[in-house]
Chains A and B, each alone.
Chain A
Amino acid sequence: MMAAEKKRIRKLTIAKAMSEAIDQAMTSNPDVFVMGEDVGKLGGVFGTTTGLFDKYGPDRVRDTPISETGFIGAAAGAAVMGMRPVVELMFIDFFGVCMDVIYNFAAKNSYFSGGRQAVPMVLMTSAGGGYSDGGQHSQCLYTTFAHLPGLKVVMPSNAYDAKGMMTAAINDDNPVIFIFHKSLQGMGWLGTAKGAIVDVPETVYEVPLGKANISREGSDITVVGFGNTVHHALDAARDLALEGISAEVVDLRSLAPLDRETVLASVRKTGRLLAVDDDHLSYGWTGEVIASVAEAGIALKCPARRIAYPDVPVPFARPMEQFLLPNAEKVKAAVLSLMNSVVSV
C-alpha cells in the first residue's frame, strides 16, 4: 500500500530530541549506555534522558554519585574498551572538578596510541545564562573545550540538529562535548526560544559534526552565531529585512572542528562580518572566526565586529546580567552601524 499520506509535522524540544537520539542508539547498539547525576528516574534535570530509565533499566541508565572525576573517567575507560557511553554533567560550570581525565586522557588517547585506541564517548552538558542563576550556573565556557585538541565541541540551535548531532556524536569514534543551551532546551521552567522547537523526523539520521549551517540566506552581511546567539541573529535578521538589509545567518553548530569554509564563503559573498557569542569575549571563538577571515585575505567592506559576553563573571542581579548578555537588539544595532561604516584607507 503506497497511499499518498500528508506528511505529518512532529515538533520536538531539544530535550526530547536528544532523548530520542539516545533511545534509538541504545536500541540498535547494546554498547551505548548512559551515566550521570539524576539521569535515571528523573530523566535528567534538563530532560535529556526522558523515558530511558523505564525502558532500559538501571544497568544501562546509571545514576551516579556526585563523583565526576570517577564517573567521567570511568566513561572514558569504558569507551576505550569499546563501549559508547553517553555521560551527562548537569552544568558546564561543574567541569572544574573532573577536567584532567577529559583533556589529558580522553582528548589525547588517540594521539598517544598512534591513532590505535579510540575514546568514543559523548559528554553532554548544559550551558548559558539569562535566568539569573548566578556565576557558577550560567557560564558558557565553550572555547575552554574547543581550545583543546582531541575534543569535538558541538552545540545544536534547534531540535532537528540536536537529534542528528547526538546520533552523529554517539557514532563518532572520538570524544564529543555535546553542549545544549538552557535557553533552547524546552524545559517549561526555563523558557525556550520558539525557533528551537522544530520538526524532527522519527527516523534515525545524522547531522554531520563539524559542518556549519546557513540558517538564513542573505547578501549584505554575514552574522555568525552558535547556539542561542543564532536565534538572536535570526530575530535581528527578520527585523533588518524590513529595513532593506539582507543578513545571512551562519550557525556554526561546531567549534571543533570549525567549519571555516562555510564562514569564508559567506563572507566572500557579503563582504561584512559580525560574530555573536554569549561566552566571554577574550580568546573566544569570535576572535578565531575573524582571524580566519583575515588570514584568508578577504577584503571586507567594513571592519569585522564581534558581540560577546564581557570578560567578567556572570552576575546574579537580573538587570546586570541582561545588560551584559547579547540579544537581538544588540545584533541589529551592530549590523546597522556596520552597514553605515566603511574601511578607512
Chain B
Amino acid sequence: MSRKPDIQTMLWMYKHMVLSRRYEEALAEAYLEGKQPLFNMANGPLPGEMHLSNGQEPCAVGVCAHLLDHDVVTATHRPHHIAIAKGVNLRAMTAEIFGKQTGLAGGRGGHMHLIDPAVNFACTGIVGEGLAPAAGAALARKMRGEDGIAVAFIGEGAANQGAFHETLNLAAVWNLPFVCVIEDNSYGISVPKGAATSVLHNDVRAASYGIRGYHVEGNDPLRIYEVAGEAIERARAGKGPSLIEIETYRLAGHFMGDAESYRPAGEKDALFARDPIPKFRQELVDAGAASSDDLLWIEEDAKSCVAELIDFAKAEAYAPVQEALEKVFV
C-alpha cells in the first residue's frame, strides 16, 4: 500500500521544510529583540514563551502532504511547522504570533493558540489536549458521512497522559478515521524519554487498543510520507485509527531561553550534523528530482516569503485594547 512521493510532492515537502526553518529562524531573531542583554521574557516584539520546531519539519511535511483542507489537524505548543504544512494562512498566523489585530484571533491567542478554521487547524498549550478533540472531529465526519479524517500531533511526553490512552481506545471502539502522530523529540522539557516512558517505542502501545502501530526512524521525510500515507489511506477507507511514532529531534531548546543544560555534551552538535534539511536536499539532487539551482530557487523564495511575513506582521497595528473584552462568546 505504501508508496513513495512523486517529484512534485517531494519538492512541495522540501519547500515547506525550508519555509518552516526560515520562519522559525526569523521568529528566533525577532524574539531576541529587546531581550538582550537581559533575557526577560516579557520584553520585545515577541514576548512570552516561544517553542520552535527546528529539526521536526519532516514530521509535518511527511504527514500533511497527504492531507486536504477538510482534514482536521490538532497540534501542540510547538505548532509552527505543522501549521505551515497544513496550509494555515501565514499572514494571519504571523500577525497572531506578533499579537496584532489582523492575526488569526486578533492577538488574543498568540503562538500556542493558532486556530484557522479554513484549513481545520488548531493547536493548544496543554500537553495532550488536542487528542480527544481530534477524535471528536473524526466522529463528526463519520456521523455526517463527510469526507475528511483527523490527525492529532502530540509529543512523546503526551503518550503518558490519560487522554492518550482514553482517546486511542475510544477511536478504536468507534472505528474512527483518526491518526495519532507522535513527534518523539526525546525530551519532555528536560526529562529524557527513557526516564518517563515505560516502553522504548510508543507504537507498541497501539496493540493495547487493537489498532495499527507504526514506528519511523531517522527523521526521514520520505519514510514518514510512506508510513503516514498508509495510515491515512486506511483511515479514509474506514479501516480505523492508527498510531505513528516518529523519531525526530529538536534543534532548539524546549523554549527560547532554555539553556539546555540537561543535554549530554556533544549531543547538540551531533543533532546538527544530522539536520534533515541538507540531508533531504542532497537526496533530492542525487535522485535527480531537482537540480541544486532549482532548490536554491526554493530556498531564496522561502527566505523572501518569510522576510515579507515578518515585515508585514511587525508593521501591523495592535487591536484597540478594549477588544480584549470581546469574543468570549461567539
Contact = CB atoms under 8 A, between A and B. Distances in A.
Indicate if A touches B (C-beta under 8 A): yes
Interface of A: 37-38, 40-42, 45, 63-70, 93-94, 96-97, 130-137, 188-191, 310-313, 315-324
Chain B binding surface SS class: loop
A63 B41 CA distance: 25
Contact of A136 (B125, B158, B257, B262): B125
Contacts of A94: 126-127
A191 B160 contact: no
30 contacts: A38-B189, A38-B190, A40-B191, A42-B189, A63-B195, A64-B196, A65-B188, A67-B161, A67-B162, A96-B126, A97-B162, A132-B41, A132-B42, A132-B48, A133-B41, A134-B109, A135-B113, A137-B125, A190-B40, A191-B41, A310-B324, A310-B325, A311-B328, A316-B99, A316-B110, A317-B107, A319-B99, A319-B318, A319-B319, A320-B318
B185 to A, nearest CB: 13
Contacts of B126: 93-94, 96-97, 136
Given A131-B41, A313-B328, A69 B162 contact: yes
Interface residues of B, number: 48
Given A42-B190, A317-B99, A134 B40 contact: no
Chain A binding surface SS class: loop
A316 B324 contact: no
Given A316-B99, A318-B99, 20 more contacts: A37-B191, A38-B189, A40-B190, A40-B191, A41-B261, A42-B261, A63-B190, A63-B191, A97-B128, A132-B110, A189-B41, A190-B42, A311-B328, A312-B324, A315-B110, A316-B111, A317-B324, A320-B319, A323-B321, A324-B324
Given A312-B328, A315-B324, A97 B161 contact: yes
Contacts of B41: 131-133, 189-191
Nearest to B191: A63
A137 B262 CA distance: 23
Q: Which of A94, A189, A313 has the most CB of B within 10 A?
A: A189
Given A190-B41, A317-B107, A312 B325 contact: yes
Nearest to A183: B42
Given A42-B189, A66-B157, A66-B158, A320 B113 contact: no
Contacts of B110: 132-135, 315-317
Contact of A132 (B47, B100, B113, B191): B47
A313 B108 contact: yes
Contacts of A315: 107-110, 324
B112 A134 contact: yes
A321 B109 CA distance: 11
A310 B110 CA distance: 19
B171 to A, nearest CB: 19
A334 B322 CA distance: 20
B188 to A, nearest CB: 5
A188 to B, nearest CB: 7
B99 A132 contact: yes
